Amino acid sequence: MSAPAHDPAQLLERFGRQLLVPGVELARQAALASRAVVVTLGGIGPNGQAGGPDALPEGAPPIATAAEACLRALAGAGYGRLGFASPLGQPIEAPAGVEWLKDAGNAASLARTATPPLAHVHLAVRPYGASADVLITESKDGWEAGEAHDATVSTVVFDAGAPLAAEDAVAFGALVARLLTEHDLGLEALPASLQLRWPEDGGAPEVSRRAPTEGGAEVAPLAKATLAPGLLAELQATPTVFGAILDHVEREWPDEACGFVLRHDDGRLEAVASRNLQDRYHGVDPVSSWRTSRTAFQLDARLLQRRLDEGAELAVIYHSHSEAGAYFSAEDARAAAPDGEPTHPATRHLVVSVLGGVAKAAAMFAFDGEARCFAAERGSGTLPAGWRRGSHGAAR
């Protein structure tokens, strides 16, 4: 059931004005003028509902209105570097100063003229309503160059039991902007997730909030890479395999891509691209599977088992981080070792950083049985000169 109806035009006008946040020093709020936020759209299909971007609707669907509300609220709070990209082109009346970005949100132009933290907000249509994924990278280098810096990740679930309605869109976009603004102003840290769910009886929404910290198996900092160089170097020396991985993760951006590398009896390596099933699980049960494919991955287990049954050895599981560094997160560690012990002890994990649709860095991790943590191979965190990608993703 939808929230109470309001006139979207009047609400958008409200969020177009400068808003001073109570209890915050003016200088702190003024500092937002040098920070950058990129807003992108996803999950858009026919009539603006959940699906792919191959059949676009006429006019702006509700999710685009949510993006406009988010941008207006951010502009009103004082953010001075705002960008927007959408498969719909330019479907909104954005506030002055918003930069239209090509290629679904390449943020490099904003990052060069902004000071950290840098944020990416991805709004998506879902069968149950809408979702927003917010990523904040504290280092400019981590966003532009793909160096291995952690990111703050949050998912907002707006569950009304049906795709986002026009009368709810402004409230949803403004809510996402408020969460980001409160985080940047030091008022309240972004939650790991915030879920709003309307009951069938039409009552007030149920609100569920997860704390921003997440436990998981220990992960050694990439700067303290201790494992001897090995599988990462072998992959990079095998162009057909490593190139297929980079092409796959770039093709799936801004969603996370995933797959695996098999080693055959003759020593040959083979890269196998998997579907990322995270959105399928999220769409069915956004409460339990609260992460979306924008910030999480779920391998196709049947594909993996079918290939293993053919006799090959599982050498590597790979996935990408979009608009974040090539690091192994606590969530990655939890998935790889849910009970503190790795599910695939002999398997390594490759993480590729994809920024603006271009692979920028790669790091290889394995479970160190003596240190009881996931550690990185030496040489992780960059791409060799021969694998550095150009503006269209081609190696040069």
Query: pLDDT digits over 123-147, tens only?
Result: 998 989 999 999 888 766 555 555 5
> Domain check: are 161 and 189 in the same one?
yes
Q: Which ranges constitute the DSSP H helices of 41-165?
A: 62-77, 108-111, 140-144
1 within some domain:
no
- Please list the pLDDT of the chain residue by residue as tens digits (396 residues): 444 455 655 554 554 445 667 778 888 888 888 888 989 888 765 444 444 433 334 446 899 999 999 999 999 888 988 988 887 777 788 778 888 876 544 565 676 667 777 888 999 989 899 999 998 887 665 555 555 467 888 999 999 888 888 889 999 999 999 999 999 998 999 999 999 998 877 778 889 998 876 555 667 667 676 778 889 999 999 999 999 999 999 999 889 999 999 999 999 999 999 999 999 999 888 888 889 999 999 999 999 999 999 999 999 999 999 888 888 888 888 889 888 888 899 999 999 988 878 888 899 999 888 778 888 898 888 888 888 775 444 553
> Domain check: are 182 and 293 in the same one?
no
Q: How many CB atoms lie within 10 A of CB 52?
A: 12
The DSSP-derived string for 251-286 is HHTTS--EEEEEE-TTS-EEEEEE---HHHHHHH-T
> Domain check: are 46 and 74 in the same one?
yes
> Domain check: are 68 and 206 in the same one?
yes
Nearest C-alpha neighbor of 118 from the set 85, 143, 101, 147: 143
381 within some domain:
yes
Q: Which residue has the tokens 């709070």?
A: 77
pLDDT value of position 263: 97
> Domain check: are 14 and 121 in the same one?
yes
> Domain check: are 169 and 206 in the same one?
yes
- Boundaries of domain holding 20: 8-210
393 within some domain:
no
> Domain check: are 379 and 271 in the same one?
yes
> Domain check: are 121 and 258 in the same one?
no
Tell me how many domains the chain contains: 2
Last residue of a domain, one of 186, 210, 234: 210
Rounded Cα distance between 381 and 384, Å, is 10
3 within some domain:
no
pLDDT value of position 51: 45
pLDDT value of position 3: 46
Convert 171-235 into a string of H (helix), E (strand) and C (coil). HHHHHHHHHHHHHHCCCCCCCCEEEEECCCCCCCCEEEEECCCCCCCCECCHHHCCECCCHHHHH
338 within some domain:
yes
> Domain check: are 132 and 255 in the same one?
no
User: Which CATH number fits the domain that encloses residue 266?
Assistant: 3.40.140.10
**Which residues on adjacent β-strands are paired with residue 361?**
353
> Domain check: are 51 and 193 in the same one?
yes
User: Which CATH number fits the domain that encloses residue 170?
Assistant: 3.40.50
Nearest C-alpha neighbor of 127 from the set 266, 301, 281, 324: 281
> Domain check: are 201 and 294 in the same one?
no
104 within some domain:
yes
Last residue of a domain, one of 180, 210, 240: 210
> Domain check: are 102 and 171 in the same one?
yes
Rounded Cα distance between 81 and 97, Å, is 7
pLDDT value of position 224: 72
216 within some domain:
no
Nearest C-alpha neighbor of 100 from the set 118, 86, 113: 86
Q: How many CB atoms lie within 10 A of CB 2?
A: 16
355 within some domain:
yes
Beta carbons of 364 and 378 less than 8 angstroms apart: no
Q: How many CB atoms lie within 10 A of CB 325?
A: 26
Tell me the one-letter amino acid at 95.
P
Last residue of a domain, one of 176, 210, 244: 210
Burial 297-322 (b: 16+ CB within 10 A, else e): bbbbeebbeebeeeebebbbbbbbbb
Beta carbons of 185 and 119 less than 8 angstroms apart: no
The alpha-carbon radius of gyration of the chain (Å, integer) is 21
Rounded Cα distance between 84 and 102, Å, is 9
Convert 59-92 into a string of H (helix), E (strand) and C (coil). CCCHHHHHHHHHHHHHHHHCCCEEEEECCCCCCC
